[in-house]
Structure 1
Amino acid sequence: MPDAGAEPSPRVGLLGLGLIGGSVGLAARERLNAHVSGFDPDPDVRARALERGAIDHAVEDVGDLAGSDIIVVAAPVQALAERIAEACAVAPDAVVTDVGSTKRALVEGAPKDSNYIGSHPLAGAEVAGVEHARANLFDNATWYLTPRADSEGILLERLHRFVAGIGAVPTVIGHAEHDRLMAAFSHVPHVVANALVAQAARALGDEAIPVVGPSFRDATRVAGANPPLWAGIYDANREAILTGLDDTIALLQEARALLATAGTEPVEAWQREIGDQRRALLDVGMTGGALSELRYVVPNRPGVVADLALTLSRAGINIHDMSLSPQPDFRSGEVALWVADDHADRARALVEEVLAP
Structure 2
Amino acid sequence: MALVGLGLIGGSVGLAARERLGAEVVGFDPDPEVRAKALERGVVDAVVDEPGDFPREVDVAVIAAPIAGLARHVAEACAFFAGAVVTDVGSTKAALVAGHPRDPYIGGHPLAGAEVAGVEHARGDLFAGATWYLTPRPDSEGILLERLHRFVTGLGAVPTIIDASDHDRLMAAFSHVPHVVANAMVAQATRALGGEAIPVVGPSFRDATRVAGANPPLWAGIYDANRDAVLAGLDATIALLTEARDLLARDDTHATEAWQAEAQRQRRALLDVGMTGGELTEIRRVVPNRPGVVADLALTLSRAGINIHDMTLSPQPDFRSGEVALWVAEEHHARARSLVDEVLSQS
For the aligned pair, the TM-score class normalised by the smaller chain equals over 0.9
How far apart are the structure 2 equivalents of 1:263 and 1:150?
54
1:75 aligns with 2:65: yes
How far apart are the structure 2 equivalents of 1:196 and 1:356?
52
1:311 aligns with 2:300: yes
- Given that residues 92 and 115 in structure 1 are in contact (C-alpha distance below 8 angstroms), is that contact kept between their aligned partners in structure 2? no
Report what 1:32 is aligned to. 21
Please show how residues 1-357 of structure 1 align to structure 2 within 5 Å: 12-63=1-52, 64-110=54-100, 112-285=101-274, 287-357=276-346
How far apart are the structure 2 equivalents of 1:278 and 1:339?
26
Root-mean-square deviation (Å) = 0.9
- Given that residues 9 and 64 in structure 2 are in contact (C-alpha distance below 8 angstroms), is that contact kept between their aligned partners in structure 1? yes
Q: Could you state the TM-score of these two structures normalised by the residue count of structure 1?
A: 0.95
How far apart are the structure 2 equivalents of 1:156 and 1:232?
27
Structure 1 regions of 5+ residues with no counterpart?
1-11
The Cα shift of 1:106 comes to 0.3
The Cα shift of 1:287 comes to 4.5
The one-letter code sitting in structure 2 at the alignment partner of 1:82 is R
The one-letter code sitting in structure 2 at the alignment partner of 1:119 is G
How far apart are the structure 2 equivalents of 1:113 and 1:295?
27
Deviations 1:112-157 (A, max 9, x none): 3200000100000010000000011001100000000110000000
Q: Could you state the TM-score of these two structures normalised by the residue count of structure 2?
A: 0.98
The one-letter code sitting in structure 1 at the alignment partner of 2:241 is L
The one-letter code sitting in structure 2 at the alignment partner of 1:100 is G
The Cα shift of 1:283 comes to 1.4
Structure 2 regions of 5+ residues with no counterpart?
none
Deviations 1:184-243 (A, max 9, x none): 000000000000000011111111111111111111000011111000000000000000
Classify the secondary structure of the residue corresponding to 2:169: helix
Greater than 6 Å deviation, 4+ residue runs: none
How far apart are the structure 1 equivalents of 2:172 and 2:8?
23
Quick one: percent identity of the two aligned structures? 75
The Cα shift of 1:286 comes to 5.1
The Cα shift of 1:281 comes to 0.9
Classify the secondary structure of the residue corresponding to 1:35: coil
The Cα shift of 1:271 comes to 0.7
The one-letter code sitting in structure 1 at the alignment partner of 2:240 is L
The one-letter code sitting in structure 2 at the alignment partner of 1:55 is V
Count of matched residue positions in the alignment of Structure 1 and Structure 2: 345
The one-letter code sitting in structure 2 at the alignment partner of 1:352 is D
Deviations 1:40-73 (A, max 9, x none): 1111101000111110111112231422100110
- Given that residues 65 and 90 in structure 1 are in contact (C-alpha distance below 8 angstroms), is that contact kept between their aligned partners in structure 2? no
Closer, same or farther in 2 for the Cα pair 1:288/1:352, shift >3 Å? closer
